[in-house]
Amino acid sequence: MKMKTPQLLAAALAGVIACAGVSRPALADEGGVSFWLPGQYGSLAAVPGEPGFSVPLVYYHASADAGGNADFEIGGRIAAGVDARADLLLVVPTYTLATPVWGGQAQVSMTGLVGHMKVSANAMLAGPGGAVLFRNKSDSLTSGGDLYPSASLRWNAGNHNWMTYLMAGVPVGSYQVGRLANLGLNHWSADAGGGYTYLNPKTGWEFSAVAGMTYNFENPDTHYRSGIDGHLDWGASRFLSEQVHVGLAGYFFHQLAGDSGSGARLGDFKSRADGIGPQIGYLFKMGGRAAYLNLKGYYEFDNKNRPAGWNIWFTLSIPLGSAKK
């Protein structure tokens, strides 16, 4: 299938791929929550977009269950048998520059979020293998999360596209020591990486992969420092028409260095999780400009020190205006 208007595709992508990491119930690191949200990048990740302002909106739902008596350190306490649910709305104001930077296209964004999280545990313990403080403990929270500024550069050469990015976690979200449900991490984080997209307009096939690493600073209230995380997000799809593409998406999340600090009472607690699932994307016009819808879902497997679960993403990229050169 030959795509006659690849410019439409590029226009719709402005800002869709700018989402930064967010706190959620995909348990790993301190509190069972890692800075990086596996699956945030996917198909078309490295394709340059249309210059100007856009506001991607992302609805994210996740369900994770540790099962049995697996222990996690949450808010300075040890929780056993954790079950978590989250419904989050991410708002990502994004600006894509028209003037090239180092021969590529520069983009900056700021991700904010609001949402609801519910976490339950079979028991709260005084320490690893210690006395039971509470049984069947549950907690819920509706509030705002941390802020996630991000910057990226993208280059194109025919069917080949490359990108590099930097992002940070600013700890301003709702957090309280001893609480099961938190929407903030209470520590700074930094993440960097790069990616590649193969996009062939003649055949309609594309493949994308983005890899990166996260460095976490210490939580000053719990003296817990999460380790270094490595991650790879990927997506593969085919355009069935100029407007619709379908395919698969997946991720690999592996903690490379263990947790540390006086608050890390469960040891290095190195974790991993892999996920895979279907996706569908749709290009359309909004106010005479290109917009984009995407729906994807992941089922997790091969988890370690991290509850197995599933998550879905619904993304709408809203174009606001073109940038002038």
Confidence of residue 215 (pLDDT cuts 50, 70, 90): very high
Query: Range of 10's domain?
Result: 6-322
User: Would the CA dihedral through 239, 245, 247, 251 be positive or negative?
Assistant: positive
**Is the per-residue pLDDT at 232 higher than 90?**
yes
Tell me whether residue 192 is in a domain: yes
**Is the per-residue pLDDT at 6 higher than 60?**
no
Separation of alpha carbons 186 and 178, rounded Å: 13
Percent of the residues in the chain that have a pLDDT greater than 70, as a whole number? 82
Residue 309: CATH number of its domain? 2.40.128.130
**Overall domain count for the chain:** 1
User: Residue 138: what pLDDT?
Assistant: 83
Query: What does pTM read for this prediction?
Result: 0.88
Separation of alpha carbons 226 and 216, rounded Å: 6
Pair 148, 171: CB distance under 8 Å = no
Q: Which residue has the tokens 């030959």?
A: 2
Tell me whether residue 1 is in a domain: no
Tell me whether residue 312 is in a domain: yes
Distances (CA, A) of 58 to 66, 123, 194, 303: 26, 33, 22, 25
Output the average pLDDT for the chain: 85
Confidence of residue 217 (pLDDT cuts 50, 70, 90): very high
Render pLDDT for 18-76 as a digit per residue (tens, 0 to 9).
444 444 444 446 665 678 889 989 999 999 988 889 999 999 999 988 766 677 777 66
Q: Which residue did the predictor score with more confidence, 196 or 15? A: 196
**Is the per-residue pLDDT at 11 higher than 70?**
no
Render pLDDT for 108-164 as a digit per residue (tens, 0 to 9).
999 999 999 998 877 666 666 665 566 777 889 999 999 999 999 999 999 999 999
User: Residue 12: what pLDDT?
Assistant: 52
User: Residue 302: what pLDDT?
Assistant: 87
